[in-house]
Structure 1
Amino acid sequence: MPGVVIIGAGPGIGRSVARRFAREGLPVTLVARSADTVAAVADALAPTGVRVLSLTADSTDATALRAALDTASEEFGVPDVVVYNAAIIQPDLAGELSVRAHQDAWAVNVVGAINTAAHVAPAMARRGSGSFLITGGMPEPKPEYVSLSLGKAGVRALVALLDKQYGPAGLHVASVTVDGPVAPGTDFDPDDIAEHYWYLHTQPRHQWDREIVHSEHAHRRSGDAHDWAHGVLIGLLGAWQSAFDEQRWHDLAALFTEDALFQGIDPALRVGPTETVGYYAAVTDQPRAAMEVLRANRLAEGLVGGFADVTFTPATGEPRSIRLSVVAQRIEGTWRIRQYHAAPRP
């Protein structure tokens, strides 16, 4: 089964992105310079039960990088997603760095992404699907971060070039631009940022974005407003839909908090995963669900809410449409449904 390859799989965004895709059942290939680094991230993925391949390669060593990418393809097939997350983040003013230091920063921030794309993008394009995502930054250049500002400007240009070259064949090329220092429990929590990567990967082709900017006061798509909460609900309700369709009641129960408040289309009020799953398991006509998130808002730190439309199509009989009101809470890095209310929709 093809999966996700993460170049620069460190303890921040790299680890959170790996966990986000692992929650969807995708095999994960981790690539970093240090064996200790990839081992620590691999340990964090152990509870997910997905297959993990841990590889070491310096993103500036083209030979080693290509070998790692080849190993990932041999193990899991041409990847569904490639995330280039390697960067040199250092403060420097104009004139402070030597020519060699500037070249070293550019090699990590831009050239490694070029070499990665050149090696894997053609096969992904031939298949006609997939996502090539790069971690960006510095939407506005900062004089105290000259090398990083230049590198992230290069990333933005590279995304545009790769999109022109491979986008028509079906490869979604985009960047997640992070406009601040990444740290858990802040506006730049890596678990929140990781939602953007999943959102970009799951976008329908006619809605592709080329950039999402994550800043202190707003998380927006290039060109118009976007709340990352939309991606949270797409991922969470997508997992709910999959578990429901396949009648995986244990997995469905795990999507709800222990004190979740639940009301289906009947007037009964239910609390917790056991009562909730009992409601679903009692459905006898084995319908399949089609879900569309209509709106999502960030309610507070680690809390989002929104609306969705769901159409249930049974094996026999007429489809039934409902509107959901959902509140989701992030608990230990995982989003779960805290409140669910369904109402008939004309």
Structure 2
Amino acid sequence: MPGVVIIGAGPGIGLSVARRFAREGLSVALVARSENSLKTVADTVASAGVPVVTVAADSTDETALRSALDAAIEKVGVPEVVVYNAAIIQPDVPGELSVRAHQEAWAVNVVGAINAAAHVAPAMARRGSGSFIVTGGMPEPKPEYVSLSLGKAGVRALVTLLDKRYGSAGVHVATVTVDGPVAPGTAFDPDDIAEHYWRLHTQPRHRWEQEIIHSEHVPGHSPEASVVAGLLGTWQRAFDEQRWNDLVSLFAEDALFQGIDPRLLVGPAEITGYYGNVQDGSRATVDVLRASRLGEDMVAGFADVTFTNPVGEPRPVRLSIVAQRVMGAWRIRQYHAAAHAGAAQRVR
């Protein structure tokens, strides 16, 4: 049966994602440069009792990558999910890398994903369903990781472009942004991260997210903090780009909302009217402070948000939200913003 294809199937996220999808009964096709890595992952996944296909290929070799994808499709059909998990992760400061080294990093981090999507997404679109998910990182650029910061910025742009190209045909394009070193038993346990891929794949179309951020914003990072950070990260990007329909889609149908003014709003229509009054060119930055679980499918969190109006005047607020998982997707049920004392009263 059609299943998941994982490009960059190593012992970390790749293995955990393979196991997560195999647990749901999906066949697994693994693509990696190293035969040893493929065998290790395949042997582990095979215990789930699903078909497992392995193909050795370098993601920067377009011909080899296309052949690997064709081989996987021949065995398991057009995949339900493709996960692009290949990356060059290396520290480098401005001016340190040669042009060739930058090109090599870009080829792995971005171009391989482009080529993979171009090869499989059209067939997904013809079928009318499928998910193409890229492993991202670096929510904020870091000068000590120049090539990786550039690559992950490219991934975000690529996800947006692919969504515009294939989203209307039923292909869910998204990224899981991992903001830290992956290691079992830590805040960045690959098994925890793998849950994000499954959640993205199973989201109903009207609740699609383009990015989930797995980040450590506070001491004692938890999956709850990832939920809040992912929701508010998507909210921030939609706010900055004035995409009000996308922003309002993050709220539940009966969401309670109070912005800076004292009006209590309920539901998407009233919330849309609120954001329609925001000044063009306004932006926001978000810093998640704390999150906790209220129930099996409900979390709460606090964040500091600084709104900046078009002339650069900041307005800091303390934001609290309650989020609920509805049909596999997290949505904001309650939103309350409180202005800090003395903040300028210009931007919502």
Fold match, TM over 0.5?
A: yes
Over the matched positions of the two proteins, sequence identity in percent amounts to 75
Look up the SS of the partner of 1:48 in the other structure.
Answer: coil
Cα distance 1:309–1:142, how it changes in 2: closer, same or farther (>3 A)? closer
Once the two structures are TM-superposed, the CA of residue 196 in structure 1 deviates from its matched residue by 0.1
- CA displacement 1:234-268 (0-9 Å, x = unmatched): xxxxxxxxxxxxxxxxxxxxxxxxxxxxxxxxxxx
Matched, 1:223 2:223: no
TM-score under structure 2 length normalisation? 0.65
SS at match of 2:46: helix
Match of 1:206, SS state, is helix
The 5-angstrom pairing of residues 143-154 of structure 1 reads: 143-154=143-154
Aligned-pair CA distance for 1:295: 2.0
Structure 1 residue 96: Cα displacement: 0.4
Q: Structure 2: 5+ residue runs without aligned partners? A: 218-224, 237-294, 301-322, 328-348
Going from structure 1 to structure 2, the CA distance change for 1:309 and 1:151 (only over 3 Å counts) comes to closer
Quick one: distance in 1 between partners of 2:80 and 2:94? Answer: 39
Structure 1 residue 197 corresponds to structure 2 residue 208? no
SS of the residue 2:47 aligns to: helix
1:73–1:79 contact (8 Å) kept in structure 2:
yes
What are the within-5 Å matches in structure 2 for residues 72-111 of structure 1?
A: 72-111=72-111
The answer to whether the aligner puts 1:295 opposite 2:297 as a matched pair is yes
Report the equivalent of 2:41. Answer: 41
Q: Is the CA contact 1:294–1:309 (under 8 Å) kept in the aligned structure 2?
A: no
The question of whether the paired residues in 1 share the 8 Å contact of 2:210 and 2:234 is answered with: no
Closer, same or farther: CA 177–307 of 1 in aligned 2, 3 Å: closer
Aligned to 1:138: 138
Q: Is the 8 A contact 2:135 2:175 kept in 1?
A: yes
Q: Distance in 1 between matches of 2:39 and 2:325?
A: 39
Alpha carbons 1:92, 1:146 under 8 Å: kept? yes
Q: CA RMSD in A?
A: 2.1
Instruction: Using the TM superposition, give the Cα deviation of residue 7 of structure 1 relative to its aligned residue in structure 2, in angstroms.
Output: 0.2
Aligned residue pairs, count: 236
**Could you tell me whether the CA contact under 8 Å between 1:294 and 1:307 is conserved in 2?**
no
Unaligned runs of 5+ in 1: 226-292, 299-305, 311-346
- Following the alignment from structure 1 to structure 2, what is the Cα–Cα distance between the partners of residues 36 and 120? 26
Q: How does 1:27-38 map to 2 (within 5 A)?
A: 27-38=27-38
Q: Name the CA distance, whole Å, in 1 between partners of 2:108 and 2:69.
A: 16
CA shift, 1:47, in A, is: 1.6
Tell me, yes or no, if structure 1 residue 61 matches structure 2 residue 61.
Answer: yes
Q: Residue type matched to 1:136 in 2?
A: G
State the distance in 2 between where 1:124 and 1:202 align.
15
| Aligned-partner residue type, residue 55 of structure 2 | L
- Contact 2:200/2:209 (8 A) holds in 1: yes
Distance in 1, matches of 2:85 and 2:42, equals 16
The 1-side partners of 2:173 and 2:64 are apart by 23
TM-score normalised by L of structure 1: 0.66
Cα distance change, pair 307–176 in 1 and its aligned pair in 2 (3 A): closer
**What is the CA–CA distance in structure 2 between the aligned matches of 1:15 and 1:224, rounded to whole Å?**
30
